[in-house]
C-alpha cells in the first residue's frame, strides 16, 4: 500500500534561514509526488511536482524538492525563509495504480520567527 510520512508536525525557523520539510513515501510503482501549501482558511495550492525526468524540481515561491529513489524521499527546501512562508505544507503521492487518487501526508506547520 502507498503511504506518505512527513517528519515533524511543526517546524520553526528564523527569517532568512534554510527551510527543510521532510517527506518519505512508500510506493510499489514509480510515483508522482507533490508538495502543496495551505495558508489559513484557504484551499491547497500546488508548490511543485515530480512526475518523471529531472529529480530536482523547482516550484513557486523559491521552493524546490529533490526526488531520491534510493531513500524514498522527496524533501522540500527553500534557501531563505520569508515571513509569508508561514503555512501548512502537505506532501502527497499519486500511486500509479490509482490514477485519480492522491494520498496526503499528515502535514507540517511551518512557523517563521522574526
Partner 1 sequence: DTEVTQTPKHLVMGMTNKKSLKCEQHMGHRAMYWYKQKAKKPPELMFVYSYEKLSINESVPSRFSPECPNSSLLNLHLHALQPEDSALYLCASSSPGLAERSSYNEQFFGPGTRLTVL
The binding site for partner 1 (CB under 8 A) comprises 32, 34, 36, 41-46, 49, 51-52, 90, 94, 96, 99-102, 104-107, 109
Q: Which is nearer to partner 1, 86 or 102 (CB)?
A: 102
Q: Which residue has the cell 522540500?
A: 76
| Nearest distance in Å: CB 86, partner 1 | 15
Q: Which is nearer to partner 1, 14 or 42 (CB)?
A: 42
Q: Which is nearer to partner 1, 17 or 38 (CB)?
A: 38
Phi, psi of 29 (to 5 degrees): -130, 160
For the sheet with 19-26, list strands across it.
3-7, 19-26, 73-78, 64-68, 56-58
Q: Which is nearer to partner 1, 84 or 100 (CB)?
A: 100
| Nearest distance in Å: CB 16, partner 1 | 27
| Nearest distance in Å: CB 112, partner 1 | 18
Phi, psi of 101 (to 5 degrees): -105, 140
Q: Is 44 exposed, middle or buried (0-12, 13-18, 19+ CB in 10 A)?
A: middle
Amino acid at each position: 500500500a502507498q503511504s506518505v510520512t512527513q517528519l515533524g508536525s511543526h517546524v520553526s525557523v528564523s527569517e532568512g534561514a534554510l527551510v527543510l520539510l521532510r517527506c518519505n513515501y512508500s510506493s510499489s510503482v514509480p510515483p508522482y509526488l507533490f508538495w502543496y501549501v495551505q495558508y489559513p482558511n484557504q484551499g491547497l495550492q500546488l508548490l511543485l511536482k515530480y512526475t518523471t525526468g529531472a529529480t530536482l524540481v523547482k516550484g513557486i515561491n523559491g521552493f524546490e524538492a529533490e526526488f531520491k529513489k534510493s531513500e524514498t524521499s522527496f524533501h522540500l527546501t527553500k534557501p531563505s525563509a520569508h515571513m509569508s512562508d508561514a503555512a501548512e505544507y502537505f506532501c502527497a503521492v499519486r500511486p500509479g495504480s490509482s490514477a485519480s487518487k492522491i494520498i496526503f501526508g499528515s502535514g507540517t506547520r511551518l512557523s517563521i520567527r522574526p
